[in-house]
A and B are shown apart, each in its own frame.
Chain A
Amino acid sequence: MKFGVIRFPGTCDDVDAQLAAARVGEAELLWHRDDDLKGVDAVIVPGGFSYGDYLRAGAIARFAPVMESVIEFAHEGGLVLGICNGFQILCECGLLPGALLVNDHLKFVFRQVQLDVVDHNTPFTRNCPPSLSIPVKHTTGRYYSAEPVQVVLKYTEGHNPNGSQDDIAGVVNNAGNVFGLMPHPEHAVDALTGSTDGLSIFESIRTAVGERVRVA
């Protein structure tokens, strides 16, 4: 299978996401000005500071040409994973419900957190263990939604790093094919950095895409 990783001006986790995805499949970068998704099976919107995060995190990136294609891809059922700034962008463009607000303590937070996988029945978490150790690094990670949402990942009790509503760390859309999370699974794929738990998310996507191909 082939992953496409989007690169905006200001993205900084694109190469880590590409290297993580390349452990389970092919992975190539997609430029923000290019509306061609190059036939990828899954799209990753990685972390960073797209367009400087001017106005609000993710607010400008949603209007990039590549995002028009990502929105169409998602509406056709394609798998889309948004990490950190990618999660913010997916909320801003309406592919995911809710919004990310500045952390309740107003500080940048960078630490390893423990996560509970509360829904294994998604294309992004089917291969995940019940609990994940993955780092977070953000200033704008406090999830908020006025409507009920499909929660997939929660910070384990005592690990909520930002004041997120109901300890929410990651959500999927109603159709289940768009997933956003604040923690960085692409930074937890090598034992050298302390945890390989993040790999299970990329492996889940590969499994899901493999099943789709067989069905087709």
Chain B
Amino acid sequence: MRARVLIRPKSGILDPQGQAVERALPALGFDGVSKVHVGRLVELDVDDVTQLPAMCERLLANPLIEEYEIIENA
């Protein structure tokens, strides 16, 4: 099955990449943008989707600093 894992900085942890993007958008004339966060996307074909949470905990994300969201049938 095709799956997608979205990884983003945990809320409360300073996200300088998100802040940089948030500052850059008004400079291009895009106003009214806030709470920008930049993360990672991992796409994968996987036989057993029940293994995805363990994959995230052990390798794809670092649970100390990141949150992950698994999207099955992506």
Contact = CB atoms under 8 A, between A and B. Distances in A.
Interface string A86-116: 0000001000001101111110000000000
A163 B14 CA distance: 10
B16 A144 contact: no
A55 B16 contact: no
B60 A99 contact: no
| Interface residues of A, dominant DSSP | loop
Interface string B14-52: 101100100000000000000000000000000000000
A102 B14 CA distance: 10
Contacts, number: 31
A92 B62 contact: yes
Contacts of B14: 101, 104, 142, 163
A93 B15 CA distance: 23
Interface residues of B, number: 10
B13 A101 contact: yes
Interface residues of A, number: 18
A144 B13 contact: yes
B59 interface: yes
Contacts of A104: 14, 16
B17 A99 contact: no
Contact of B64 (A98, A102, A106, A142): A98
Interface in A111-146: 142, 144-146
B62 A99 contact: yes
Contacts of B59: 55, 59, 63
Contact of A59 (B16, B17, B62): B62
Contacts of A146: 64
Given A55-B59, A104-B16, A145-B64, 11 more contacts: A56-B62, A59-B59, A92-B62, A98-B64, A99-B62, A102-B17, A104-B14, A144-B65, A146-B64, A163-B14, A163-B16
7 A-B pairs with least C-beta separation: A99-B65, A99-B64, A106-B16, A104-B16, A99-B62, A56-B62, A106-B20
Interface of B: 13-14, 16-17, 20, 59-60, 62, 64-65
20 contacts: A55-B59, A55-B60, A59-B59, A59-B62, A63-B59, A92-B62, A98-B64, A99-B64, A99-B65, A101-B14, A102-B16, A102-B17, A103-B16, A104-B14, A106-B16, A106-B17, A142-B14, A144-B65, A146-B64, A163-B16
